[in-house]
Amino acid sequence: MTGSGSGMTGRYLVLLEDDAVAEGTRAMTRLAGLRTVSTADAAPAATVAELLGGADGVVLHELGVAIVTAGADQADGLTRAVAERGAIAGVEPERTVYALAPTAPAAQRESVDESTFTWGLQAVGAPDSTATGAGVRLAVLDTGVDVEHPDLAGRNLVTSSFIQGESVQDGHGHGTHTIGTACGPRTPDTGPGYGVAYESDIYAGKVLSDEGSGGDGGILAGISWAIANGCRVVSMSLGADIEPGTPHSRVYERIARRAMGRGTLIIAAAGNASNRPGEVAPVGHPANCPSIMAVGAIDVAKQVAYFSSGSVDPGGQVDVAGPGVDVYSSWPMPERDNTISGTSMACPHAAGVTALIAHRYPQADPWELWARLGQTARRLDVPSVDVGAGLVQAP
């Protein structure tokens, strides 16, 4: 999932109190002199970067959060507003996030028959489930998707790019791979079946560039888009490494709660910053938020992947685990498919299983989906700090 480092974009995220978007927008102007535009008044296809081109900030009206370009004195004014407990609930720097798999080779895996289905599908019990994900809208926020990939032909595919100057077409590969795992086919023309929720409606949001990076603002815009489109599950194989003891983002935590209140569960990769057995890194941003389900990675032997970030106190915790080593899935043409590793690969397994549960229990809200995912997970003979409730299992 994450890159080898993290950085700031120079912009800020401004969290507005519940039902106080208009008041908070006025406060940003009054206290910091910031001119903002709202997505409620913008063209649907406008990106955050495009909107920022003519203003100091963009208010994501549906989420109650703004992305602003502000000087130090303006940021101080916003911070003082938080202390006054008005319409502005929080201010934090916007981070750069990444979509990168580990560079070191995975350990030699055991022999496994993948002639019909990938080992990942077998491990989560997907082939034995009667649930298909039909009618469930599943959003994958990543580097986009190869819209002409033959394995996705005929599927309900809705796309949107939140990267200025780039279409949703995946010039990286990471997004096409994660979409394939979450909701690709079971009977492709070549190779084994590899998609968990193979009849779900696919919502592909490009929030990371073809270079594999992006900002929090674009990701939050993608979350807003997914919620507005009624997606029950959002899969995010992205993030940034953090130092032990770093608090989680208050903005993402509040947004995740608001998303759940509107029927959307956000699932994110825990991170690839560990180097086990000697070094266990904390769950990265934004998966370390309590209301975002964090997914760790295991290998075919049901052991924790050497790179998988873990529950480090104080910090976020791993909630569940998914197959994340030597995972076969789709890749932009002409390559068509690829086998890679990372918690980025574990996350869409968990998201796909969640979509299967949502299919089986159409009235379940996000809290019930989370509970069922944890209650049915397969317990593993490894510490729970590394895999949470265990290996996700199809209903």
Note if 210 is an active site residue. no
Note if 344 is an active site residue. yes
**The one catalytic residue among 174, 177, 285, 349:** 174
Domain final residue, candidates 60, 94, 128: 94
Distance CA 340, CA 101 (A): 7
**The one catalytic residue among 56, 142, 201, 241:** 142
Domain hosting residue 141, numbered range: 119-387
Domain final residue, candidates 94, 111, 132: 94
Kindly state whether residues 334 and 187 are assigned to the same domain.
yes
The answer to whether residues 36 and 66 touch, using CB atoms and an 8 Å cutoff, is yes
**The one catalytic residue among 344, 349, 359, 386:** 344
Judge whether 392 lies within some domain: no
- Among residues 395, 282, 380, which one has the least CA distance to residue 322? 380
Domain final residue, candidates 55, 78, 94: 94
Question: What is the CATH number for 363?
Answer: 3.40.50.200
Note if 313 is an active site residue. no
Kindly state whether residues 209 and 294 are assigned to the same domain.
yes
The model scores a pTM over 0.75: yes
Q: Torsions phi, psi of 180, nearest 5?
A: -60, -45
- pLDDT tens per residue across all 395 residues of the chain: 444 444 888 899 999 999 899 999 998 898 888 888 888 876 665 666 676 666 788 999 989 999 999 888 888 888 888 877 789 999 999 999 998 666 555 555 567 899 999 999 999 999 999 999 999 999 999 999 999 999 999 999 999 999 989 999 999 999 999 999 999 999 999 999 999 999 999 999 999 999 999 999 999 999 999 999 999 999 999 999 999 999 999 999 999 999 999 999 999 999 999 999 989 999 999 999 999 999 999 999 999 999 999 998 777 899 999 999 999 999 999 999 999 999 999 999 999 999 999 999 999 999 999 999 999 999 999 999 999 999 999 99
